Amino acid sequence: MEAKNKVRMSDVVINVLGVISLVMVFGFAPGARAQSGNVYGGNQVQTMSTTEEGVVLQVSIKKAEASWQARTGGATGGGLVGALLGNSLGGGNYQAKALLGALGAMGGGFAGERIANAVSASDAQEIVIGLRDPRSSSGIRVVTVVQPAPFDAVAPNDNVLLVNTNGAIRVLRRTYNTAYVQR
């Protein structure tokens, strides 16, 4: 009878840990923020942005890893599956079930995080820009901006605008006629 209670207790502990993990991942996630050049978040619309003019010096495509929410969700899901599989392999022995459940949770969590990162990673465009001094036509400093997909592709020597909207930096191809802009 006591062994049966221990088995039930281990199942309860695993279920409680699973629920706590899910609540932490999805309950405490911050509000969504736009992370690409073509998408604006709710905190970025109807706000005034600072803008600087520049010219693209260099562009390369890089990989952007998955968000922490995606990786944490993958680790949580993998850990739960691993714990359940490990626990089921322990047979009737309480210590074996607990040990295999813990090992399964660790291995499943690691595998789940790696799978989530591989599936959710995206391309990003690394852009090196020479910014112009608004009081003269000379470039005075060089900055680098990495924009995750989806983005508008730019090429070296493109005239661009560097837009800062509530901390999100975007590089936009300049499309207006400079004759209308007073200097």
Question: Per-residue pLDDT for 32 more than 50?
Answer: no
Residues whose CB falls within 8 Å of the CB of residue 153, separated by 6 or more in sequence, listed in order: 59, 125
Q: How many domains does the chain have?
A: 2
CB 158 within 8 A of CB 175: no
Residues 107, 126 within the same domain: no
Residues 57, 81 within the same domain: no
Boundary of a domain, candidates 77, 100, 120: 120
Residues 157, 134 within the same domain: yes
CB 167 within 8 A of CB 178: no
Question: Per-residue pLDDT for 181 more than 80?
Answer: no
| Residue 109 placed within a domain | yes
pLDDT in tens, 118-157: 777 788 889 999 887 767 666 578 888 888 877 888 899 9
Other CB atoms within 10 Å distance of the CB of residue 109: 22
User: What H or E segment, with its residue span, contains residue 11?
Assistant: helix 2-27
Residues 95, 170 within the same domain: no
**Which pLDDT band, with edges at 50, 70 and 90, does 20 fall under?**
low
Residues 15, 74 within the same domain: yes
Residues 79, 111 within the same domain: yes
Residues 71, 82 within the same domain: yes
Question: Per-residue pLDDT for 101 more than 70?
Answer: yes
Residues 22, 96 within the same domain: yes
CB 155 within 8 A of CB 56: yes
Residues 111, 77 within the same domain: yes
For 47, the domain range is 42-64+122-180
Residue 161 is encoded by which pair of tokens?
């605008």
Burial string for 17-54 (b: 16+ CB within 10 Å, else e) reads: bbeebeeebeeeeeeeebebbeebeeebeeeeeeebbb
Residues 109, 132 within the same domain: no
CB 72 within 8 A of CB 25: yes
| Residue 145 placed within a domain | yes
Residues 71, 111 within the same domain: yes
| Residue 36 placed within a domain | no
Question: Per-residue pLDDT for 164 more than 80?
Answer: yes
Residues 10, 26 within the same domain: yes
| Residue 37 placed within a domain | no
| Sheet arrangement for strand 122-132 | 139-148, 122-132, 50-64, 159-165, 168-173
The percent of residues above 70 in pLDDT, for the chain, comes to 66
pLDDT at position 27 is 54
Boundary of a domain, candidates 105, 120, 135: 120
Question: Per-residue pLDDT for 110 more than 60?
Answer: yes
pLDDT at position 128 is 92
Cα–Cα separations (whole angstroms), residue 153 to 2, 27, 33, 106, 146: 66, 36, 21, 41, 12
